[in-house]
Amino acid sequence: MFSQELLISTLVVVVSMYLYFRSGRSKHPASLPTNWPIFIFSSLVANLHNLHDYFSVLLAGLGHNFKAHGPPGTGMRFFVTCDPANVRHIFTTNYNNFPKGAEFASIFDIMGGSLFTSDGEACERQHAKIRSLLSSPLFVGSVAARCRDKVEKGLLPFLTTMASSGTQFDVQELMVRCMFDLTSAMVFGVDPGLLSPNMPPMDASDAMDTVMDVGFLRHAMPASCWKAMRWLNIGPERKLRAAQDLLRGFVAEMMMDRRTSNGGPVFNDEEQMGVEDILSAHLNNPYYADYDLLRGTLIGTMLAGRDTIGTTLPWFFYNLAQNPDTVTIIRKELSPIASRKTASGAASAMVIFEPDETKSMAYLRAALYETLRLYPPGPTERKTVAVDDIMPSGHEVHAGDTILISVYAMGRMEGLWGQDCLDYKPERWLSENGKELRYVPSHKFLAFNSGPRTCPGKEIAVMQMKTIVSAVVWNFDMEVVEGQTIQPKMSSLLQMKNGLAVKLKRREI
């Protein structure tokens, strides 16, 4: 059955793509395809390597919304949107009618049952729990202290060595290493030390990348196709199976390390706000007595913590390299704190900014938000239609349809952000006096999700990014190595396909 469906689906895609290319449109990828759902789907397949930008082209030309149908017999029906009114309807007004759905949970089965894949009561229960934990003063203080410690003892020594030798390095790999360590410490209470002088292998982190890369491919094909490949253990599914096995082993190892490092089982009194890591809170909860659920939750939390910042910061440094005036303004905002710190210390000492010191810095946050607008770590959100509905845009959607919200395209629409929407301009986030953030509704800026699923770790993520960025920007000048091709890779994450090679110079202050 799988083989027959796979053959039929493949033949239909090939034929429709042939007709599409024969029309001559393939010579002009920026032009719009015939506005028939099956031909739009064919054009999406043809532009899969550059899907996020192609979404932007289509959505700009088709009024912020379009439909696409997969080959006959596959049941693939998509409604793609970046319309804020539709987003508000999907994420808030009629939230219960647009769950992530069973197919989404199947695509990311390694995180089965976790907040990342769940809907309904299970989602609400887990969201409330993690929100309570992430607002605990002890937990937040622990995360802040670990981040500051990692910057001082891990990040800055590495950057100093690179600056002294003039050696270029991949800042994307560096940020992923840093965030993998910080997220592991936040989740398990154990730092695996990926960001250390010997730079150990990144096997578990690479396995997480594989989960997101293959997840992207699963989204793009009929479920019968990827399930057939999984059953046969071929193609990307073979690589995914190995990655999943590695991640399960990683979780088991980290849980053992956590117990060993604490001299026994991990049980804290959460009601006394005595939990400093996520594993402790979950082990103390009967809801997570199912080990598969606990493991899926821990993997999902690792991905959420590592990916948001590890994916955003390379794009942030790339933007700064293209916009030196922004660097100057950030340093001006940091200058009063740095002056106090260096007044009684050695002039050559590295300056580290405490999380509390950067908390109120509006321009620094605006610069981060502007990066998230143009380069959201999760470029696409996926939902399923539970019951037939009519969107605010007037489009009808039917039970079983897949909704794709292009967060990437939303940040590139002139109608939402103005004619300068493609420009990196932190000032757009600031009030007229330049000292306060301007309010932008979450259904227009979806980097931290919206409605009941708004990211509970938003402020922790911003705190970590500010702590890392302030230390790097104040102490070093960063230059992007010329001749690179900077583009997103095919993944559920907006990672750079080839990384970002940079060189550093120590600032003379």
* Type and span of the H or E element at 126: helix 120-134
Neighbours of 28 (CB within 10 A): 8
Q: Is the dihedral of CA 310, 315, 320, 321 positive or negative?
A: positive
Question: Are β-strands 77-81 and 402-406 bridged in parallel, bridged antiparallel, or unpaired?
Answer: parallel
Residue 90: how many other CB atoms lie within 10 Å: 27
Q: Which amino acid is at 40?
A: I
Tokens of 14: 């090939």
CA gap 429, 325 in Å, rounded: 16
**Count, residues in the chain:** 509
DSSP string over 301-323: HHHHHHHHHHHHHHHHHHHHHH-
455 labelled binding-site residue: yes
For the chain, the C-alpha Rg in angstroms (whole number) is: 23
Structure tokens that stand for 97 in this block = 């009618």
- Cα angle 206, 311, 145 (rounded to 5 degrees) comes to 95
Is 92 exposed, middle or buried, given 0-12, 13-18 or 19+ CB atoms closer than 10 A?
Answer: middle
Report the binding-site residues for heme.
455
Report the binding-site residues.
455
